[in-house]
Amino acid sequence: MKTFVVGDVHGRAAQLHCLLEMLPRDEASDTLVFLGDLIDRGPDAPGCVDLVMKLQRENPERILCLRGNHEQMLLDFIEGSANLWITPVTGGERTFEQYTGKRLSITREQDLEDARREVESSVPSEHLDFFNELPFYHEDDYAIYVHAGLDRTKHPKDTAPQSLLWMRDMEFYKNYRGNARPSRSPWHLHFSQCHRHRHRL
């Protein structure tokens, strides 16, 4: 039994297809964990979401997907609680265009509201439901999986989602030494963050 961990696909559906074909994964016994950030920046965010949803429907016991900060930014934008998703650095404008078929242009306050309603009505409801249902972490007998970071003093269930989505504690990564179990060693693929925990919490 192996666990494959894939992070930060960012709209690269073609590359994701190729990666999945290359994995020496036994679909009956091996687990595949996506760490979120399926959307933004790349050329086909909707295709990435469709693919992961399909994999999960076909094998719900072995395919897991966590929430990334980019999915959260999209949900926050639609909700109206934050506009970070549409800033150039996030690549959200590409996902906006892919779902709506329109170029994102914000020059006045009303444009923000129009863009919110446009993306909310254009993203398929099953995609929005999928984003809203994504968990912030997953734990098995071997590891705790999150999108970004862990508080060394707390279990993820007691950690603010903001930390799990955004925190980058480089001292944690440099100094952490987890106990490995070779038969359950996860394969890290792309920009993944799999945090092995030394003791069950």
DSSP 109-161: HHHHHHHHHHHHHHS-HHHHHHHHH--SEEE-SSEEEESS---TTS-GGGS-H
* Confidence at 179, pLDDT banded by 50, 70, 90: very low
3-state secondary structure of 182: helix
pLDDT of the residue at 151: 79
Of 115, 108, 33, the C-alpha closest to 78 is 115
For residue range 146-161, what is the model confidence (pLDDT) as tens digits?
999 887 788 899 999 9
Write out the two tokens for 136.
């912030």
pTM of the model: 0.85
Cβ partners under 8 Å of residue 89, min gap 6: none
3-state secondary structure of 48: helix
**Phi, psi angles (nearest 5°) of residue 40:** 80, 150
For residue range 77-123, what is the model confidence (pLDDT) as tens digits?
999 999 999 999 999 999 999 999 999 999 999 999 999 999 999 99
CATH 3.60.21.10 is held by the domain 3-196: yes
pLDDT of the residue at 195: 42
Cβ partners under 8 Å of residue 75, min gap 6: 128, 131, 132
pLDDT of the residue at 150: 81
